[in-house]
Amino acid sequence: MKKNPHVIWVCPTSETFFRAKGEVRCRPGSVIPRLSEHGFKIDVLIPHDPTLLPKTKLSSARITRHTIHLGQDYPIEIIKLSRGSLSPGLYMLKMPGLEPALHSAVLSRSALALAKQIKRPVDIFHMFEWESALLPLFLELDRNGSRLLKESRTFLSIHSLRDQGNFAPGVLTHLGLPKTLFHPAGIEFFGKVSFLKSGLLFSDGVSLIEGGMALRNHVHRNGTGLEGVLDEQAHKLRRWVSERSLRSYLDAYGELLSMPSPRPVLPRLMEKCHIDEKQYDRFIESWGPLPPDSYNQNCLSFLIQSPTKAFGFWEWTHNGFTDYGLVLENRSDGSRRVLSRGLNALGDFWIDVLPDRPYVLELVGWTKSNEMVPLLRSRIVRTPRNIPSANKDAVFIDVRTRRRFLKKGVGWWNNGQLFSGSSASLSALDWMSGGLPSSLKEGTLK
């Protein structure tokens, strides 16, 4: 194995670190110090956390400014918290307030910018969760012509396959990624762009941490819809009992460093995703309309998930507004409230609602003069009840025997005959589950 391999960790949180006595330290149980003892040069990139900053003003030498290129440019700052060239080197990323999809993409791109800032070849990028899972794809796009990234391997650690980072297809435009990748063979997943699926496809190795997923024998048979992807990528999957197992890290890193130079995945994947005119009709029949047909269309969808939760997603293609927001209108009392402001022209939003109420969702935009302008309005949707119906005159019919049962007062009536006792307290749910006495289910309607 190479002497003193260089590994960059890309973490979506800063929970591994704390500040004490003027220094930033790893929390007890972290494997980072032990990896350093085994000769690894570890550098860590974390999101901005004010609790880790010193009380005094940071020296300008510790702050490096970069511009991250996606669908548009995003200015960032990388702040060095550790001193000198000691391992681990801790770097903190400060970026503008962004939606989760863009936040994740900027974090992944910033890790590549950090590698170029350090000016030392990177042997392994170790990513954690879907929030940094776009890094292997961005690495393939940036690898050519960079001696620092030419031999870099990627390793993705996952605690939960249910947290997938799924976003509307239009996000590809904002990420600066080829729209061709929105395909079942690419990073499309049930009609959305999946950051986790991208990480599974493009990473050189993947660890599924059992401690986080409570897995037993079949690590990926958990109903997340990723079974086919995991079967196809089974050669790179590794089961870890715990994220604190030093042996797991050493074995994984040793295996990656002993591999031949990484082969690019993107060219082969683009061939699978490409559809020529001869295949167009067959593609439409087997999978549905081509994804680009739904791009750049003004739309607002408002969906009910439960009596107390709703979900909205939208896309607005015109300019002229400084930012966007959502307004929820309760049609039962006419009240309106602004749910959020500072949203992008493309996004999604979870909404708290009340049971058994009609609602309308609006997408609004703010002009430069701070005037709120309605842009899109959803249809009226009604949330379901979260209690049994108040109707006591329910009628149930056995579709097989055509016998009719009516509930009036405290008993069940069958063609004018009252059945009391235990059947008097049975509900509609009891009927559907077969809870009524068999005597009420037999016979035919007279």
| Structural domains in the chain plus CATH codes | 6-270 (3.40.50.2000), 296-382 (2.60.40.10), 395-440 (no CATH)
* β 17-20/23-26 pair status: antiparallel
Are 225 and 192 in contact by the 8 Å Cβ rule? The answer is no
Rounded CA gap, 346 and 221, in Å? 33
> φ and ψ at 54, to 5 degrees?
-70, 160
> φ and ψ at 162, to 5 degrees?
-85, -20
**Burial of 184 by CB count in 10 Å (0-12 exposed, 13-18 middle, 19+ buried)?**
middle
pLDDT at 407: 56
Are 40 and 8 in contact by the 8 Å Cβ rule? The answer is no
Q: Which of 194, 276, 256 is nearest to 230 (CA)?
A: 194
Residues 64-83 have pLDDT tens digits of 999 999 988 999 999 999 87
pLDDT at 204 over 70: yes
Residues 238-284 have pLDDT tens digits of 888 888 889 999 999 999 999 888 788 888 888 777 655 444 444 43
Extract the tokens encoding 381.
């949707």
Q: What angle do CA 86, 92, 96 make, to 5 degrees?
A: 165
pLDDT at 147: 82
Residues 27-65 have pLDDT tens digits of 888 999 999 999 999 999 999 999 999 888 888 888 999
Rounded CA gap, 316 and 144, in Å? 35
Rounded CA gap, 282 and 286, in Å? 6
Sole residue written with tokens 């890790």: 111
Rounded CA gap, 295 and 173, in Å? 9
Residues 1-27 have pLDDT tens digits of 678 899 999 999 999 999 888 888 898
* β 205-209/153-158 pair status: parallel
Rounded CA gap, 182 and 178, in Å? 8
pLDDT at 1: 64
What pTM was computed for the model? 0.62
